[in-house]
């Protein structure tokens, strides 16, 4: 078979990072009616380009089929909302944003971030492709256009006088299959000295901490700083600072501008992250080839724990109907014979079923009603928030996290 080509530089993708089998879409939650129907499944593999070092999945589904209607609402994570608020305070101070500025956010979701700029009197615009999510944002008073972002949308914004002093994209960069069109749009939409701020999970953390569950069809890319700087340079953009974040198991916030802008001082983060990636040898194909073997113990240990719990007559529930959880469960072959149900605070997911494993999704109070012996935290990146909110120790229950290694918590 002819190998697929890199979506950025068109080089044949001949080197596998990981093969997670054949799975349904991680965010394609099932209604009760759909349980009678077979699910569409697709190969889930990540490959690396040895020319630009961009890690990417095979493409089987158009972005329009994934993101035009979406079940993820950012406001249901208190820690993420607080993270966003802190960012807006920093951005206003660092970039001198005023009522004469304009902030544009790509994939603005339900307005969880932009509302803080609105409260400070700064004009904003959200670009959100999922119509159902954009409706929620507009109802909350956040100006939002329901459309995909790229070069065409950016040109339209500029023509309407809506160029950005600050252009934000949190956890959207990985979701755009046409990376050249998207980054060209970033360059177009910025004012001469405007700033682009993107946050995304860091490939270095994914590989070092075995975070394979963050790989799913909706994520087309997995970024190193090495690859991002190459992509930005092609489209007339440069980075002037990078911040390492704890979110999503370890993320980067990159700050960039037009290549001809001299308005922004270079920060120390760039040199530090470049050095970390060089030390981890993200420029060598052998580094990526070792990843598949590193995750096999996670599958082995999770299945051993679940089968042991069942043999002992223990009950296991899961917390968080997260996309990463669906990748984990489907890769490990876990179904409702090993886990009773999953709970989630998002009412848009409740009364549905997880894709693949088909676990029923309930509201969190289900745990107090059934008192499971163990609760498997699927969105392990917010385990502290979950554990602080739900006292399952009251009936002797214990939390379990599966990544980067199985741990039964006190």
The answer as to whether 11 is a domain residue is: no
Name the residue range of residue 391's domain.
307-408
How much is the pLDDT for 314?
Answer: 98
Write down which residue in 288, 317, 337 finishes a domain.
288
Give the range among 55-69, 130-144, 328-342 with minimum mean pLDDT. 55-69
Give the C-alpha distances (Å, rounded to integers) separating 149 from 91, 135, 172, 249, 276.
22, 17, 10, 26, 32
266 and 165 part of one domain: yes
Report the number of distinct structural domains present in the chain.
Answer: 2
How much is the pLDDT for 190?
Answer: 98
The Cα 371–Cα 357 span in angstroms is 22
Give the range among 55-59, 83-87, 186-190, 192-196 with minimum mean pLDDT. 55-59
Q: What is the pLDDT of residues 281-303, one digit of tens each?
A: 999 999 999 999 999 999 999 99
103 and 242 part of one domain: yes
CB-based contacts of 36-42 (< 8 A; 24+ apart in sequence): 39/355, 39/356, 41/356, 42/217
| pLDDT tier, 145 (very low <50, low <70, confident <90, very high otherwise) | very high
What tokens appear for 308 in the block?
Answer: 């042991």
The answer as to whether 12 is a domain residue is: no
Contacts of 252 (CB under 8 A, 6+ apart): 199, 200, 202, 223, 225, 242, 243, 244, 245, 273
Q: Which domain CATH number covers 241?
A: 3.40.50.150
149 and 207 part of one domain: yes
The answer as to whether 201 is a domain residue is: yes
181 and 80 part of one domain: yes
Write down which residue in 259, 288, 317 finishes a domain.
288
How much is the pLDDT for 159?
Answer: 98
The Cα 144–Cα 138 span in angstroms is 6
| pLDDT tier, 81 (very low <50, low <70, confident <90, very high otherwise) | confident
The answer as to whether 225 is a domain residue is: yes
The answer as to whether 158 is a domain residue is: yes
The Cα 408–Cα 104 span in angstroms is 42
Q: Which domain CATH number covers 387?
A: 3.40.50.720
Residue 402 has pLDDT above 70, yes or no: yes
How much is the pLDDT for 66?
Answer: 56
311 and 252 part of one domain: no
| pLDDT tier, 164 (very low <50, low <70, confident <90, very high otherwise) | very high
The answer as to whether 30 is a domain residue is: no
The Cα 294–Cα 404 span in angstroms is 10
402 and 281 part of one domain: no
From 94, 63, 158, 168, select the one nearest 124 (Cα to Cα). 168
Residue 155 has pLDDT above 90, yes or no: yes
Q: Is the dihedral of CA 323, 173, 44, 178 positive or negative?
A: positive
Write down which residue in 253, 288, 323 finishes a domain.
288
What tokens appear for 17 in the block?
Answer: 């990072």
Percentage of the chain modeled with pLDDT above 90: 90
The answer as to whether 21 is a domain residue is: no
246 and 337 part of one domain: no
284 and 311 part of one domain: no
249 and 334 part of one domain: no
The answer as to whether 298 is a domain residue is: no
Q: What is the pLDDT of residues 236-258, one digit of tens each?
A: 999 999 999 998 889 999 999 99
343 and 217 part of one domain: no
Under 8 Å between Cβ of 211 and 201: yes
pTM for the whole structure: 0.89
280 and 319 part of one domain: no
195 and 267 part of one domain: yes
């Amino acid at each position: 078979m002819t190998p697929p080509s890199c979506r950025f530089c068109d080089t044949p993708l001949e080197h596998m990072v990981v093969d997670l089998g054949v799975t349904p879409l991680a965010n394609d939650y099932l209604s009760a009616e759909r349980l009678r129907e077979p699910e569409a499944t697709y190969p889930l593999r990540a490959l690396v380009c040895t020319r630009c070092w961009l890690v990417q999945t095979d493409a089987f589904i158009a972005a329009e089929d994934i993101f035009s209607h979406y079940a993820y609402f950012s406001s249901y994570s208190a820690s993420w909302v607080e993270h966003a608020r802190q960012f807006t305070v920093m951005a206003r101070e660092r970039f001198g944003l005023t009522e004469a500025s304009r902030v544009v956010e790509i994939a603005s979701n339900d307005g969880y971030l932009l509302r803080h700029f609105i409260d400070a009197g700064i004009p904003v615009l959200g670009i959100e492709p999922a119509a159902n999510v954009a409706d929620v944002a507009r109802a909350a008073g956040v100006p939002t256009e329901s459309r995909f972002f790229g070069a065409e949308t950016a040109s339209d914004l500029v023509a309407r006088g809506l160029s950005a002093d600050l252009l934000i994209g949190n956890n959207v960069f990985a979701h755009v299959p046409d990376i050249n069109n998207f980054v060209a749009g970033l360059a177009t939409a910025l004012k001469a000295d405007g700033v682009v701020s993107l946050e995304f999970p860091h490939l270095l953390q994914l590989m070092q901490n075995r975070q394979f569950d963050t790989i799913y069809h909706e994520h087309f890319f997995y970024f190193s700083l090495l690859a991002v700087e190459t992509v930005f340079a092609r489209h007339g953009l440069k980075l002037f600072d990078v911040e390492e974040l704890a979110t999503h198991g370890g993320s980067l916030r990159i700050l960039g501008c037009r290549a001809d802008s001299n308005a922004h001082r270079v920060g120390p983060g760039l040199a530090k992250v470049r050095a970390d990636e060089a030390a981890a040898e993200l420029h060598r194909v052998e580094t990526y080839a070792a990843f598949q073997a590193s995750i096999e113990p996670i599958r082995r240990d999770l299945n051993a724990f679940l089968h042991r719990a069942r043999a002992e007559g223990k009950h296991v529930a899961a917390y968080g109907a997260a996309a990463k959880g669906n990748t984990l469960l489907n890769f490990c072959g876990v179904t409702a014979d090993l886990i009773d149900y999953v709970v989630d605070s998002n009412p848009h997911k409740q009364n549905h079923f997880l894709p693949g494993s088909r676990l029923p999704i309930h509201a969190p109070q289900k745990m107090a009603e059934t008192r499971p012996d163990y609760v498997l935290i699927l969105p392990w990146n917010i385990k502290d928030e979950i554990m602080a909110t739900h006292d399952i120790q009251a009936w002797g229950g214990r939390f379990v996290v599966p990544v980067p290694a199985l741990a039964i918590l006190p």
